[in-house]
C-alpha cells in the first residue's frame, strides 16, 4: 500500500484549515460542502437551485480535493465532503452516497491529429515509455504529460483505472484542478491530460478509448470503461439542513440538473 508523504499530509491539513476558517467566516451558511474540485462545479449549480427552491437556506461550496474534503468531514470542518473517487479502506466507516457517475476523459489539443488511443498507449504515455506523438499515431513532437496533484480524486481514479499499479512519470506537469488541466491542454498542442467528461468543451478534444467514444451513453452501456463515482460523504447519517440538501440532490429535480450538466444519473440504492 502506498504511504502518504509528509508533504501531502501537510497540504491536506492546510486545506482543511482553510475550509474551517472559511466556515467560521460564513455565519449565514447552513451547510458547508467541501472537497473534490471535480464535483465542486456541479455542487455549486445544485446549491444555487436548492437555495432558489428553499429561500433562506445557504449552502457554502468549497474545493480543496477529495482527500481534504473527507478529512474536513472527519474533523467537523465541513458538513458534507465531496469525493470523486471511491472511499478507501480507512474511510469506509463514513456515511456516503453516490450522487452521480462521471466519465474520465483523456483530452488533447484540438490541433492534435490523434483521435483514438488504447488503454496501453495511455499507460505508456503517462509512464514515459512513449514520449513522442509519432509513436501513438500523431506527428513527430514531444508529448507533454499533464496530471493532477497527489490527493486528487481525479488522479486516484486515473491511477486505478489506467495505470494498473504503474507510476505516473515524475516529469509530468502537475495541476491542481480539472479547470487548469483543461486550460493547459487547450493552450499546448502537444499536451495530454485527463479531466471530468462533463467538463469537456470546445477548447479540448476527448480521444476515443480503443475505438469507443467518451460519452455518457457509452458509460451507461458499459462500453467506455473510464468512469468513477461522485460521492457526498458525511461523518454519520446526515440530519437537518445537510439531509435536506442531500435529499434535493438525490431527487428527480437534482438528478435532472446533474444529467443536464453531462453527468450520469446515480444508481438506485447507492447509499453506504
Tens-digit pLDDT profile for residues 30-62:
999 999 999 999 999 999 999 999 999 999 999
pLDDT band with cut points at 50, 70 and 90 for residue 268: low
The Cβ of residue 75 has, within 10 Å, a number of other Cβ atoms equal to 14
pTM metric for this prediction: 0.77
Compute the chain's Rg from CA coordinates: 19
Note the pLDDT of residue 71.
96
Could you tell me which of 176, 120, 119, 124 has the C-alpha nearest to residue 146? 176
pLDDT band with cut points at 50, 70 and 90 for residue 12: very low
Note the pLDDT of residue 28.
61
HEC per residue, the chain: CCCCCHHHHHHHHHHHHHHHHHHHHCCCCCEEEEECCCCHHHHHHHHHHHHHHCCCCCEEEEEECHHHHHHHHHHCCCCEEEECCCCCHHHCCCEEEEEEEEEEEEEECCCCCCCEECHHHHHHHHCCCCCEHHHHCCCCCECEEEEECCCCHHHHHHHHHHHCCCCCCCCCEEECCHHHHHHHHHHCCCEEEEEEHHHCCCCCEECEECCECCCHHHHHCCCCCCEEEEEEEECCCCCHHHHHHHHHHHCHHHHHHHHHCCCEECCCCCEC
Note the pLDDT of residue 262.
85
Note the pLDDT of residue 20.
45
The three cell numbers locating residue 34: 467541501
CA end-to-end distance (rounded Å), the chain: 24
Amino acid at each position: 500500500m502506498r504511504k502518504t508523504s509528509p508533504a501531502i499530509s501537510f497540504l491536506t491539513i492546510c486545506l482543511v484549515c482553510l475550509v474551517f476558517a472559511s466556515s467560521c467566516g460564513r455565519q449565514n451558511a447552513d451547510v458547508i460542502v467541501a472537497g473534490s474540485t471535480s464535483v465542486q462545479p456541479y455542487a455549486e449549480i445544485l446549491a444555487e437551485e436548492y437555495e432558489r427552491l428553499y429561500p433562506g437556506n445557504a449552502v457554502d461550496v468549497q474545493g480543496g480535493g477529495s482527500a481534504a474534503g473527507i478529512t474536513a468531514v472527519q474533523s467537523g470542518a465541513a458538513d458534507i465532503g465531496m469525493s470523486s473517487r471511491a472511499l478507501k479502506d480507512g474511510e469506509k466507516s463514513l456515511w456516503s452516497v453516490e450522487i452521480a457517475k462521471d466519465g474520465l476523459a483523456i483530452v488533447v489539443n484540438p490541433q492534435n491529429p490523434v483521435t483514438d488511443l488504447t488503454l496501453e498507449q495511455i499507460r505508456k504515455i503517462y509512464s514515459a515509455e512513449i514520449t513522442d506523438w509519432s509513436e501513438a499515431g500523431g506527428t513527430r513532437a514531444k508529448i507533454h504529460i499533464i496530471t493532477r496533484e497527489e490527493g486528487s480524486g481525479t488522479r486516484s481514479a486515473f491511477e486505478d483505472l489506467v495505470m494498473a499499479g504503474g507510476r505516473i512519470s515524475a516529469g509530468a506537469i502537475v495541476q491542481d484542478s480539472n479547470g487548469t488541466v483543461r486550460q493547459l491542454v487547450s493552450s499546448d498542442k502537444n499536451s495530454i491530460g485527463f479531466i471530468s467528461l462533463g467538463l469537456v468543451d470546445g477548447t479540448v478534444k476527448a480521444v476515443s478509448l480503443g475505438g469507443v467514444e467518451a460519452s455518457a451513453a457509452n458509460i451507461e452501456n458499459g462500453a467506455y470503461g473510464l468512469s468513477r463515482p461522485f460521492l457526498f460523504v458525511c461523518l454519520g447519517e446526515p440530519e437537518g439542513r445537510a439531509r435536506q440538501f442531500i435529499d434535493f440532490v438525490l431527487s428527480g429535480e437534482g438528478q435532472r440538473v446533474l444529467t443536464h450538466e453531462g453527468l450520469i444519473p446515480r444508481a438506485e440504492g447507492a447509499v453506504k
